[in-house]
Structure 1
Amino acid sequence: MTQLFPRATLKRIIKSHHNRTLTKNVDVMIYLDYVLFLQRLAEEANNEAKQDLNEKKIEERHVVAALERVLQEFQG
């Protein structure tokens, strides 16, 4: 099975931003939260595109419009 992300690199990035020790699987939880965030952002941008005269392509303006709502959902 291939790795989806480099765990050591992610742990090093997290440690560089926060001077705390990390539990064993915290990097996995952060990665999964990141994937869920991107999935939700894509869904919201798709909804924005559909509302905008049924456009078939998601454009930057759709992502920007959806970003604030999704960030509010993931703020914790």
Structure 2
Amino acid sequence: MPQTLYPRGTVKKIVKAHANRPLSKNADILIFLKYALFMQEVLKEAGIASKRSGERGVSARSVRKVREGCLRKFKG
């Protein structure tokens, strides 16, 4: 059995608990990929924000600055 990047069963249980709907066979994979793309975007934008403000690395402050914009981009 191939190794997965995340626990598929756990993701399915969490989504089912919040959605109260049945999931298609590979819905958890799509959810995980969307999550990974979102996190990549947050880190990219936070890196840009931190450089603009003269910080050496990505900080919690720079993540908070870009969080709302990234959430709007990825909203349903």
State the Cα distance separating 1:58 from its structure 2 match.
1.1
Percent of aligned pairs with the same amino acid: 40
TM-score calculated relative to the size of structure 2: 0.93
1: distance between equivalents of 2:56 and 2:8? 36
Q: SS of the counterpart of 1:4? A: coil
2: distance between equivalents of 1:75 and 1:22? 20
Q: Which runs of 5+ in 1 are unaligned?
A: none
> What's the counterpart of residue 15 of structure 1?
16
- 1:57 and 2:57 correspond: yes
TM-score calculated relative to the size of structure 1: 0.93
RMSD, aligned CA: 0.9
2: distance between equivalents of 1:59 and 1:9? 29
> What's the counterpart of residue 47 of structure 2?
46
Q: SS of the counterpart of 2:57? A: coil
State the Cα distance separating 1:19 from its structure 2 match.
1.2
State the Cα distance separating 1:40 from its structure 2 match.
0.2
Q: Which runs of 5+ in 2 are unaligned?
A: none
> What's the counterpart of residue 36 of structure 1?
37
